[in-house]
Amino acid sequence: MTKLTHFNDSNQPHSLTALPTILVVGSLNVDLTTFTPRIPNGGETYTATSFSIGSGGKGANQAVACSRLSRPKVPANAGFGTVNVSMMGAVGDDAFGKTMLSDLEKSGVNTDCVAVRDGLKTGVAVVIVEETTRQNRILLSPEANDALLPKHIQQFPTPAPALIILQFEIRLETVLEVMDLASQLRIPVLLNPAPAIKMPTAAYAWVEHLILNETEASILSGCCVDESTTEGDISLVAKQFNNLGVKNVVITLGGRGVYYSCSNGESNHVSGLLKSLEVSVVDTTAAGDTFIGAYAVEAVKPGFHLGRVCEKANRAAALTVGRKGAQESIPWADELTPYKSIFD
């Protein structure tokens, strides 16, 4: 049998099994997206600009982002990335489920841990993109995603993941079960608490990387984070999560940029605000997922530097907002053009 190889930046092959694995546990949804100049009023019928059907779900999007941002577009296979990416979740036994699995595999994601649930529907997200404001509104029907239960989390696939990514589009009790097992096995967890749901305070100690937007930060911290919030106030919110045991906290602020806060003890705290890049915004869907994918790929590499990682993730997300759709808008590694880091 031919041994699969991976080619790194120096173009030197090495064994695929030597690569770190990122395991994404989360949702898989089909996105039914409508683009419209404005949102219709109650009782009003309004003609939209266009409509599309595509694969999505925060979990699946983040898995695709990890895979794409670790390898060039051609060839898009497991032998040419810097990480292995596996997805754990559930889809229904319908056409949408088959498409979801196919699209993940086309992006180089391993789907061995995605269960196909008989008699259930694949999750659905109805997305409305308001073209005048470039904002999206999403209605989620979890369907098969709710069939991923704590009892299904007995072990993680081998080799052991170097990082586990979680969101809140699956049952909270399942998320907590994954976090508990990861803690026992000393596997770092990246949590994207979206949509925002209150979880036990003690569970934050199981999280090494917390990435959330300003709305989620407001709900979970109890402090308002909006356009009027100063950098000093944002730092206090971030420190709340640091004080709960989270080492790296990242709050994405839309057009204002990204605030990051790393706590290695009171004597070694690093924080800062990265400004957003000036880009033409078409659709913000999957921008946050792209940020997380780019961040995760860097997080499993040696020499982790929170500010530098956020800088690269910010650039990847900027590419996504210039395109329509969810997974189809996520860039590949070779689409990120070289740039001079502000940290050099």
Q: How far, in Å, are 63, 76, 146 from residue 150 at the CA level?
A: 21, 33, 11
Residue 147: Cβ within 10 Å count: 20
Nearest CA among 93, 86, 97, 88 for reference residue 124: 97
* Of 31, 283, 289, 344, catalytic: 289
**Rounded Cα–Cα distance for residues 342 and 294 (Å):** 18
Count Cβ atoms within 10 A of the Cβ of residue 299 and give its class: 0-12 exposed, 13-18 middle, 19 or more buried.
buried
Q: How far is CA 298 from CA 68, 69, 151, 163, 211, in A?
A: 13, 10, 31, 11, 14
Classify each residue of 186-199 as buried b or exposed e, where b means 16 or more C-beta atoms within 10 Å of its C-beta: ebbbbbbbbebeeb
Type and span of the H or E element at 123: strand 123-130
The torsion angle over the Cα atoms of residues 157, 160, 166 and 169, rounded to 10 degrees, is 0
Q: What is the DSSP letter of 104?
A: H
DSSP 233-275: HHHHHHHHHHHTT-SEEEEE-GGG-EEEEEESSTTSEEEEEEP
The question of whether 226 is a catalytic residue gets the answer no
* Nearest C-alpha neighbor of 58 from the set 123, 12, 143, 114: 123
Please tell me whether residue 289 adopts helix, strand or coil conformation: helix
Which residues are marked as active site?
289
